[in-house]
């Protein structure tokens, strides 16, 4: 075991942006992804070398999209897999590359820190309002006729995408439970670098008796990272992206980079609309939710990982001065352990409802959906 890191040092949950795996203009070959990941893991290894205990999470959008395209192209030959299974497949695919390259970089530094990839189910509330308005586009583009056929025969929600064709859209509910959190905590306490909750986790809901079942949805990886950071009582949440800092008035002549800001200041900037929903918005929201629990959050560039954690780069969001919240996360790991080892009820997390909802509903506002039962009734002349 990694005795030098076991139950010592501060903990950071690091969320890798898509640029850590796939760069703009690349087609996504294994070699391209492995090269990008190797560079990212070199920087994560530097964090470990600096004494940080790391929990690593990552995005998976392009990879899941490619799997859905493969499903569509090979559907007549190989049975297609549902979205939750594709999410699990991508966790294994990306986790394998992350785990291998990080292990190699740690070995080169003579750091005996084990690395483990954990297939992670993340529960969502089946009553989340996102299920009434699927908005996350996934998979390939289709013609209008193809999309209508899919809506009619499969009951899928489809939406026209900026003149490029029609795409399937799925809900993006908020995460409420990291299902294997007890295992994550135990491995972290044993000095293991854990790779988990990839792509926001495999979305599941709890049914009767707490039984789990997969659901067609996409969980925002940054919101899942914030929940993960709260559940392991991390000292810091680090969100790595392709820009060096968060900005206000982004792209305008008065653009201004943000250094260290308080939670109240960041809330005010967010309320003024400085962070767009499709880019920096979810990252800022995730950071603010973690800082509300007493931690510190950093948004920075993948090329400045160590500098960002040292306060020399990136945007750092801190609790309000004088609230006393900051000491809850910086008092040392002994205090965190008692907070983190609540393997039953989890402080600050919602309880997953016991009832499974009908997640694949028809007639959802914002997306064109055809109810299969109604369509069959019409086709049979009014007979059910």
The answer to whether the Cα torsion of 202, 341, 309, 114 is positive or negative is: negative
273 is catalytic: no
**Whether 233 contacts 336, CB under 8 Å:** yes
Distance, first Cα to last Cα, the chain: 63
Q: Please say if the pLDDT value at position 11 is more than 70.
A: yes
- Residue 98 neighbours by CB distance under 10 Å: 26
**297 CB-near residues (< 8 Å, 6+ apart):** 226, 236, 237, 238, 239, 286, 287, 288, 290, 291, 316, 317
Q: What is the mean pLDDT of residues 96-124?
A: 97
283 is catalytic: yes
19 is catalytic: yes
- Percent of the chain scored above 70 by pLDDT? 81
| Residue 198 CA: distances (Å) to CA of 22, 53, 222, 254 | 15, 18, 10, 36
pLDDT attached to residue 27: 85
Q: Which member of 139, 201, 221, 300 is catalytic?
A: 221
| Residue 50 CA: distances (Å) to CA of 53, 109, 205 | 9, 11, 38
Q: Which member of 19, 36, 60, 71 is catalytic?
A: 19
- Residue 310 neighbours by CB distance under 10 Å: 12
Higher pLDDT, 258 or 327: 258
Q: Which member of 6, 136, 325, 361 is catalytic?
A: 136
Q: Which member of 283, 295, 314, 336 is catalytic?
A: 283
Q: Please say if the pLDDT value at position 374 is more than 80.
A: no
Q: Which member of 18, 139, 294, 295 is catalytic?
A: 18
Q: Of 208, 243, 270, 6, whose CA–CA distance to 112 is shortest?
A: 6
**Whether 56 contacts 184, CB under 8 Å:** no
DSSP 259-287: -EEEHHHHHHHHHTT-S-TTTHHHHHHHH
Residue 341: helix, strand or coil by DSSP?
Answer: coil
Q: CA 378, 83, 57: angle at the middle one, nearest 5?
A: 150
pTM over 0.85: no
221 is catalytic: yes
Quick: pLDDT tens for 39-69. Answer: 999 999 999 999 999 999 999 888 888 898 8
Q: Could you give the domains of the chain?
A: 11-135+171-353 (3.40.1160.10)
């Amino acid at each position: 075991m990694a005795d030098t890191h076991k139950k010592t040092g501060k903990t950071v949950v690091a969320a890798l942006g898509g640029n850590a795996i796939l760069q703009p203009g690349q087609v996504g070959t294994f070699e391209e992804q492995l090269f990008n990941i190797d560079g990212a893991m070199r920087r994560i290894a530097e964090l470990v070398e600096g004494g940080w205990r790391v929990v690593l999470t990552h995005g998976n959008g392009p990879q899941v999209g490619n799997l859905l395209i493969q499903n569509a192209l090979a559907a007549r030959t190989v049975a297609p897999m549902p979205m939750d299974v594709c999410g699990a497949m991508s966790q294994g695919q990306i986790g394998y590359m992350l785990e291998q390259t990080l292990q190699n970089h740690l070995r080169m530094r003579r750091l005996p820190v084990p690395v483990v990839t954990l297939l992670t189910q993340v529960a969502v509330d089946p009553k989340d309002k996102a299920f009434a308005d699927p908005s996350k586009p996934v998979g390939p583009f289709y013609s209008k006729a193809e999309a209508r056929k899919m809506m009619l025969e499969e009951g899928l929600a489809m939406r026209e995408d900026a003149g490029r064709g029609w795409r399937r859209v799925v809900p993006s509910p908020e995460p409420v439970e990291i299902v294997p959190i007890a295992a994550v905590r135990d491995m972290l306490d044993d000095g293991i670098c854990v790779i988990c909750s990839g792509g926001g986790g495999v979305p599941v809901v709890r049914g009767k008796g707490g039984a789990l079942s997969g659901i067609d949805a996409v969980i925002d990886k940054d919101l899942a990272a914030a929940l993960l950071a709260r559940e392991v009582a991390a000292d810091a949440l680090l969100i790595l992206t392709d820009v060096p800092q968060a900005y206000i008035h982004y792209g305008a002549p008065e653009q201004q980079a943000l250094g260290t800001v308080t939670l109240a200041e960041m809330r005010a900037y967010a309320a003024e609309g400085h962070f767009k929903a499709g880019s920096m918005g979810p990252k800022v929201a995730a950071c603010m939710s973690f800082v509300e629990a007493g931690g510190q959050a950093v948004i920075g560039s993948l090329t400045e990982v160590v500098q960002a954690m040292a306060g020399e780069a990136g945007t750092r969001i801190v609790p309000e001065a004088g609230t006393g919240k900051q000491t809850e996360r910086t008092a040392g790991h002994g205090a965190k352990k008692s907070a983190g080892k609540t393997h039953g009820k989890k402080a600050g997390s919602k309880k997953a409802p016991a009832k499974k909802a009908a997640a694949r509903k028809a007639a959802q506002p914002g997306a064109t959906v055809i109810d299969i039962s109604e369509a069959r009734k019409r086709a049979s002349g009014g007979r059910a």
